[in-house]
Amino acid sequence: MGKNDKNLIFRPIKLTVESLFKGTNSVTSRNPHIRSNINLKHFMLIAMVALLPSTFAAVYYYGIRMLYLIGFTYFVAFLVEWAFAIFRKEDINEGILVTGLIFPLTLPPTIPFWIAGVGMAFGIFFGKEVFGGTGRNIFNPALVGRLFITIAFPTYMSSMWINPSSPDAVTSATPLIFLRANETLPFSLWDLMIGTAPGSIGETFRIGIIIAGLFLIVTRVIHWRVPIVYLGTVVVASYFGHLLIPSEVVQPVYQLLTGGLLFGAFFMATDPVSSPYTKAGQVVYGIGLGILTIVIRSFSGFAEGVMFAIILMNAFTPMIDSYIVDKKFKPLSE
């Protein structure tokens, strides 16, 4: 291997390290253009800090294997990003830091490493790189990977759950599954809040998620409209849905405190690239997310609807923003 070949291979790593630790005075001509008083590096750093409570809780409840799983998915994400960085002669985008952490937190604690690796690679490749890289993707890459392995490996994704209050016990049901089956929920609201009920790795410590979400709003890393409108719509839709069809639609409090709703509302629906940038668009987006989540949770063959709702609304995001911008500026052009 010649010197030029080695420079080509390791140049993305060198540029990424320099960007992370030294910063840069360059202004990118590519997306994402974050309209904020913080740069992309600080944006990603704050997001990662907000994910720490869920990460620590996962290790506490499910053991050191969770750290190995996160490290493995980071490694896979890095390899895919590195390959594309070499091909495009660019540095590795900082977005990998957040995507590489969010993805494993959406998985069951019993997931085999190889399935997690396949999902991570699929999400980065088909959720981001085929669109041109960070800032050009339509869908949230972590959710694309999660959706793929949910469809491809349903048994591994839905039937083996660890009970955090008894780590040696494996159960086939999460709180959402109990509720969909109209069975008595064997967990208290406190269990649902502190994480001692089965669920995906990062979704069960809901007190930490709420605090982290408020932290993201206060630091203006995310726009408050998306999570607040999303959660508010879920409450309203499930309230009236439960009044009309109590056998199908679960009560609002359980909608909020089961499944990945809170984690999805604060960490995935708010992705600045795949969510609307207009204020009105964010409201429409949040309403759509809430309605779709309740419909899928209540009437589909899947117990959880958050992932599907976000993916579907990601697809409508360009249309939502385009319609609102056209409507806003059309009178000026007439």
> Percent of the chain scored above 90 by pLDDT?
60
How far lies 233's CA from each of 111, 236, 305, 321, in Å?
A: 32, 5, 14, 20
Classify residue 334: in a domain, yes or no.
Answer: no
Look at residue 318 and tell me if it is in a domain: yes
pLDDT the model gives residue 94: 74
For the chain, report the end-to-end CA distance as a whole number of angstroms: 62
For residue 92, the 8-state DSSP code is P
Residue 333 lies in a domain: no
Asked if residue 144 lies in contact with residue 122, where contact means CB atoms within 8 angstroms, the answer is yes
Decide if 167 is inside a domain: yes
pLDDT of residue 131: 85
Nearest in space to 156 (alpha carbons), one of 123, 192, 129, 118: 118
- How many domains does the structure of the chain reveal? 1
Backbone angles phi, psi at 21, to 5 degrees: -100, -25
What does pTM read for this prediction?
Answer: 0.85
What is the predicted pLDDT for the residue at 245? 94
In sequence order, what are the residues at sequence separation of 6 or more whose Cβ sits closer than 8 angstroms to the Cβ of residue 223?
270, 279, 282
What pLDDT shows up at residue 9? 57
- The string of pLDDT tens digits covering residues 110-158 is 999 999 999 999 999 999 888 877 778 899 999 999 999 999 999 888 7
| pLDDT higher than threshold 80 for residue 37 | no
Q: Which of 73-87, 161-175, 299-313 has the weakest average pLDDT?
A: 161-175
3-state helix, strand, coil in the chain (%, to 5): 65, 5, 30
Q: How sure is the predictor about 95, in pLDDT bands with cuts at 50, 70 and 90?
A: confident
pLDDT at 184 over 90: no
182 close to 161: Cβ distance less than 8 angstroms? no
How much is the mean pLDDT over the chain?
A: 85
Mean pLDDT calculated for residue range 83-107: 86
- CATH code (residue 251): 1.10.3430
Q: Is the residue at 90 inside a domain?
A: yes
Is 60 exceeded by the pLDDT of residue 22? no
Residue 334 has pLDDT above 70, yes or no: no
Contact predicate 276/282, CB 8 Å? yes
Q: Kindly tell me if the per-residue pLDDT of 230 is higher than 70.
A: yes
Calpha distance 225→279 (Å, rounded): 8
Tell me what pLDDT residue 305 has.
Answer: 93
Q: Which domain holds residue 137?
A: 3-23+32-323
Residue 151 lies in a domain: yes
Confidence band, pLDDT 50/70/90 cuts, at residue 332: very low
Residues composing the chain: 334
The answer to whether 213 and 226 have CB atoms below 8 angstroms apart is no
Question: Of 9 and 277, which is predicted with more confidence?
Answer: 277
Whether residue 328 lies inside any domain: the answer is no
Give the pLDDT of residue 119: 97
Is residue 331 situated within a structural domain? Answer: no
